[in-house]
Amino acid sequence: MIDKPLVTVEDLTVKFVSRETTVHAVSGVSFTLDKGEVLGILGESGSGKSVTLRALMRLLPPGKTRIAGRIEIARQDVMALDTAGLSRLRGATVAMIFQEPMTALDPVFTIGQQIVEAIVQHEGGSRADAKRRALELLERVQIPSARRRLDAYPHQLSGGLRQRAMIAIALSCRPALLLADEPTTALDATVQIQILLLLRNLQQELGMAMIFVTHDLGAAVEVSHQIAVMYAGRFVERGAVAEVVRHPRHPYTEGLMGSTVHEVEKGTRLTPIRGSPPNLAALPPGCSFAPRCPYVIPRCERAIPELRPIASGGYHPHATRCIRSELVGHPETITA
């Protein structure tokens, strides 16, 4: 069973349908993830990364959403699960942590009650046992004076502690896969790093697989093994972290690097990506990045480029959705 991946997603498509428009939030995402492996999904707001996460758990409101494709997690066909099956999957096999812990925790239940509730729901057993586990979990996520915090309400904790508490709830039933939806975005810079390191340590100690969604390149690099860059509902580049960061082969990835502060020397100008993300209700027929791309040629606008491998070998072969990938990194070749 070693060779069977924990997560297989094939051609995942998510549309939000309303009377007036159809928004193509995710258009054909495929990937696999092994046990204990971390996939970072990088993209700006509205690129479909959070929707992809929610689709994996089928959390999106069924009335307005059309999901297609194949999702298999721990050898279960997620698309075929009924309500009871989904309940068993969520929280136990797959857990999720959210961006804003203040709004993602129930404000009128204590942290302890919320952990105990999850444990009792999935594993049964007595509340006393569950409470003991809850205490261990709070200690595990390094919440100081954990015993006292069990009886705390979310609003009584600081942002960092709240996020730790949410991680504790997510870990309460030892999930095989943790979905992290921008877990550090809402936090202070110093706390961000602590939470990031905590997540990485827990992921390694527990051997969990994780999908880490963020728009923060630094955070994605810190925790991920493979990275996928998402734009307008599609993966535009994918590969091992070091490879993608060192040799970006898609103009959008290159643009992201150019507009972050991380590795740019002082005094160098940041180069923002011009234009704005496309309207997901009216996507262009060709490459969706073409309108903003410095390397664009007429052929780009004719058809959507395939996600094609550009290097064979390696566990996560580098792939890009750009027909002029060999030019990326050489802006001097642009002919105006």
End-to-end CA distance of the chain: 54
**Is residue 59 close enough to count as binding another protein by CB under 8 A?**
yes
Among the listed ranges 166-174, 183-191, 227-235, 276-284, the one in contact with another protein (CB under 8 A) is: 166-174
**Is residue 70 close enough to count as binding another protein by CB under 8 A?**
no
SS3 220: helix
**Is residue 88 close enough to count as binding another protein by CB under 8 A?**
yes
Which amino acid is residue 14, in one-letter code?
Answer: V
Q: Of 64 and 308, which CB lies nearer to another protein in the complex structure?
A: 64
Give the nearest distance from C-beta 63 to another protein in angstroms: 9
With 0-12 CB in 10 A as exposed, 13-18 as middle and 19+ as buried, what is 325?
Answer: buried
Strand 177-181 and strand 94-97: the pairing is parallel
- What tokens appear for 139 in the block? 């200690």
Closest C-alpha to 292, from 269, 310, 275, 304: 275
Q: Of 104 and 304, which CB lies nearer to another protein in the complex structure?
A: 104
> According to CB under 8 A, which one of 105, 116, 141, 208 is a site residue for another protein?
105
**Is residue 35 close enough to count as binding another protein by CB under 8 A?**
no
Q: Of 170 and 319, which CB lies nearer to another protein in the complex structure?
A: 170
Among the listed ranges 66-74, 98-106, 269-277, 305-313, the one in contact with another protein (CB under 8 A) is: 98-106
84 phi and psi angles, rounded to 5 deg: -65, -40
Residue found by looking up tokens 């009584």 in the block: 156
Residues forming contacts to another protein in the complex (CB under 8 A) are 54, 57, 59, 83, 86-92, 95-96, 98, 100, 103-109, 117-118, 121-122, 153, 155, 166, 169-170, 173
